[in-house]
Structure 1
Amino acid sequence: MDRLHGFDSLAVHAGQDFDPTTGAVIPPVHFSSTYAQDGIGGLRGGYEYGRSGNPTRTALQEQLAAIEGGAHALSFASGLAAEDALLRAVLRPGDEVLLGNDVYGGTYRLIARVLGPWGVTVRVVDMTDTAAVAAALEERPARILWVETPSNPLLKVSDIAELARLGHAAGSLVVVDNTFASPALQQPIRHGADVVVHSVTKYLGGHSDVVGGALVFRDDTVFDETAFLQYAVGAVSGPLDAWLTTRGIKTLAVRMQRHSENALAVASFLAADDRVSAVHYPGLATHPQHELASRQMSSFGGIVSLELEDAATARRFVESTRLFQLAESLGGVESLVNYPDAMTHASVRGTELAVPETLVRLSVGIESADDLVTDLAAALDVL
């Protein structure tokens, strides 16, 4: 794959050599839990046991590293399993994570409630305010600077290059959650990030039929320690999950183009409706970080958040759509609507990361844009 440079080509071909035995264009799925050895320690291709390695998982990891522009990648059973392995590889009691004030609630819960009792602390800062980040790092160093951009669910966009500069100057490992943008639209390693995190359940898988997570590493820094935990703790992706993710990645570029086009149409419609109090979407010129997003991303993704008059109205709205299905998660080809305060972000109620009760999050799918707008208009009409 060294001769391939285009993202679309890498997404289709990286790690996907045809089967040398049969010539099958699609590599087989390897379901075996164990591998015959040529004498004690004589491993074929380095494989001995399914937890330590699987050819289908290896292919996915090669594919992930290629599309993110990294040196290595690791595939896990979920996004939180990936985050947990990285955090435990890097952190020790007394270490601190500097976290954005608008991130996925599960990330905060993992750090504060799971790792907190082991002596890990977390501070929260607005990652879009680089002066505030610089001041926080000057006040007290952080072992990890954790960036999520665009953020979940308010779609804030953070300056990866500047945060990487600040983090590295303070001795921090700079981690970027790239789930919302996907590598089709944004590649944080090219902007200075050390590690990229993905919930592959979302856009990488893309079809709401697989749960998984991934880490992509700029270089060897913390890779070996994290790979050891992948093996020793064992939260690896199974072969079918790895294969489904690989299949999803092959169409990632074209899907993200359609997601972005539809999301812009939806956001523009909502922004023009007086019944909507606010619309959060980086593709709108009114978004506070629109210019940054235009420079840092090739397009703006498929997530749109909106705010309505009050909590009761927001709840009624999410229960009134039809084409937008009421469900958690995001990034599939079908459109979903979510009420973060009581669903994806319930775990951060009462914290600095609490989301507005008036907020609704839309995962805009690849259906006909006119149908999506019609569905949202009908839901607004019943308010």
Structure 2
Amino acid sequence: MTNLKTKVIHGGIATDSTTGAVSVPIYQTSTYQQDALGQPKAYEYSRSGNPTRHALERLIADLEGGIQGFAFGSGLAGIHAVLSMFSAGDHIILADDVYGGTFRLMDKVMTKVGLTYDLIDLSDLEAFSNAFTPQTKAVYFETPSNPLLKILDIATISKIAKAHHALTLVDNTFATPYLQQPLLLGADVVLHSATKYLGGHSDVVAGLVTTHSQELAQQIGFLQNSIGAVLGPQDSWLVQRGIKTLALRMDAHSANAFKIASYLEENLAVAKVYYPGLDQHLGHAIAQKQMRDFGGMVSFELVNEAGVKRFVEKLKYFTLAESLGGVESLVEVPAIMTHASIPKEIRETIGIKDGLIRLSVGVEDIADLLEDLQQALEAVNA
């Protein structure tokens, strides 16, 4: 089965083996009866394994081209488990434009156990190649990135990393496996905040990880069980249910986002638009090569930066809130909200200005969304 529109519905474990239910039930249990002393059945304790969670883990592996999946209590819990594969003294190359929570985890938590890192612009392949040291064990990045929608060449970066005997870890949250499959492009591990597009309805917090390496799968599985930040059965069921409509939603998100980006690009009140579907985007050609479409995230800057607060508060259909990827449209200001944990001098160096606005474009009628943006822009310039 190769068509992802079919695979999001029928991939992984699509039916319950015990009852034949076409929606895998919520196995709300902490433990399982054993056949005899020392002879557990398929499951023995729900931190180590749960049928509902297992179905979701099989599904994400199937969608990304991995051999095993892992579900966590949040995206950051998944990132923490993956970074826990490394030891004191190991060096990580971290893309300069990553989610603020990822930066905070690396800068404030992982450095305490001895990891070191450097923030590098991975679109500069010469700077990337020069960033390797004998201690470099991995490169970690997002593409499209959060919040500047930077597009990074997964195949090329993976090839360079392999030449230095380093792993390639890709956060695929913005694209989802429906638009992009990093493992098939050479990456070693793929991570998701399943809270976002995979869940799709702003009603669950979850993280997913998968790999096509048996060795890495064993390491991640050990850390998942040992650290214990696993996803519960109720939330596992919600994410799996959300994935069933992933193809429909991502097509709608992408179509709306392209129209909004095109509108903003022509609006005189807008100074700059970040969207990989636009021809002038620096990563447009790479996005065309490695993505099926350009996704539902749009960032932009106003000519009148002082009007940002008025703009976001005047919107009606774009809800002022953190997170992204739900069916409803959201708006946020990264410097104050999602990326506030990154020091101002670093934010400004990489381009996350105080006036940058990020839209998570929903699946509402495009006419209503465009009208909402228009009235808010007019209010700024009134």
What TM-score comes out, normalization by structure 1 length? 0.96
Indicate how the Cα distance of structure 1 residues 165 and 211 shifts in structure 2: closer, same or farther if over 3 A, else same: same
1:376 aligned residue = 373
Partner residue of 1:340? 334
Equivalence for 2:100: 105
What is the count of residue pairs matched by the alignment?
Answer: 377
Task: Assess, with a 3 A threshold, how the Cα gap between structure 1 residues 141 and 161 changes in structure 2: closer, same or farther.
Answer: farther
Note the C-alpha offset of 1:224. Answer: 1.2
Range with bigger deviation, 92-101 or 187-196: 92-101
Cα deviation per residue 1:206-233 (whole Å; 9 max; x = unaligned)? 0000000011102113221221111111
Q: Does residue 193 of structure 1 match 2:190?
A: no
Tell whether the 8 Å contact from 1:341 to 1:349 is kept in structure 2 after alignment. no
How big is each residue's C-alpha offset from its partner over 1:223-275, in whole Å with a ceiling of 9 and x where there is no partner? 21221111111100000100000011111111100000000010001000011
- Residue of structure 2 aligned with 1:269, choices 263, 286, 290: 263
Provide the rounded CA distance (Å) in 2 between the counterparts of 1:107 and 1:176. Answer: 12
Q: In angstroms, what is the RMSD of aligned CA positions?
A: 1.2
Unaligned runs of 5+ in 1: none
- The match for 1:366 among 363, 368, 371 is 363
> Contact 1:317–1:379 at 8 Å: present in 2 too?
yes
| Aligned counterpart for 1:127 among listed residues 99, 114, 122 | 122
1:149 aligned to 2:146? no
- Deviation of 1:351 after TM superposition, in Å, equals 4.8
Q: Which residue number in structure 2 is paired with residue 308 of structure 1?
A: 302
For 2:9, the aligned partner's letter is V
The alpha-carbon distance between structure 1 residues 353 and 96, as it changes in their structure 2 partners (threshold 3 A), is farther
Q: Does 1:69 align with 2:65?
A: yes
Distance 1:94 1:302 in 2: 38
Which amino acid letter does the alignment assign opposite residue 250 of structure 1? Answer: K
CA contact (8 A) 1:7 1:184 kept: yes
- Give runs of aligned pairs for residues 1-383 of structure 1, distance below 5 A: 4-45=1-42, 47-89=43-85, 91-137=86-132, 141-354=135-348, 355-383=352-380
Change (3 A) 1:28 1:218: same
Q: Separation in 1 of the partners of 2:134 and 2:34?
A: 51
Which whole-Å deviations, capped at 9, do the CAs of 1:35-84 have from their partners, x for residues lacking one? 01111122222x01111110000000000000001111100000000000
1:149–1:157 contact (8 Å) kept in structure 2: yes
Residue 377 of structure 1: SS of its match in structure 2?
helix
Shift >6 Å, 4+ stretches: none
8 Å contact from structure 1 (residues 103, 353) kept in 2: no
Q: Identify if the C-alpha distance between structure 1 residues 141 and 94 changes in structure 2 by more than 3 Å, giving closer, same or farther.
A: closer
- Alpha carbons of structure 1 residues 20 and 181: separation in structure 2 relative to 1, 3 Å: closer
Contact 2:24–2:237, Cα closer than 8 Å, also in 1: no
**Structure 2 length as normaliser, TM-score?**
0.96
- Aligned-residue sequence identity (percent) comes to 48
Matched to 1:136, the amino acid is A
1:314 alignment partner AA:
V
Contact 2:347-2:353 at 8 Å conserved across structures:
no
- The secondary structure found in structure 1 opposite 2:178 is coil
Using the alignment, how far apart are the partners of 2:305 and 2:135 within structure 1? Answer: 38
Change (3 A) 1:273 1:170: same
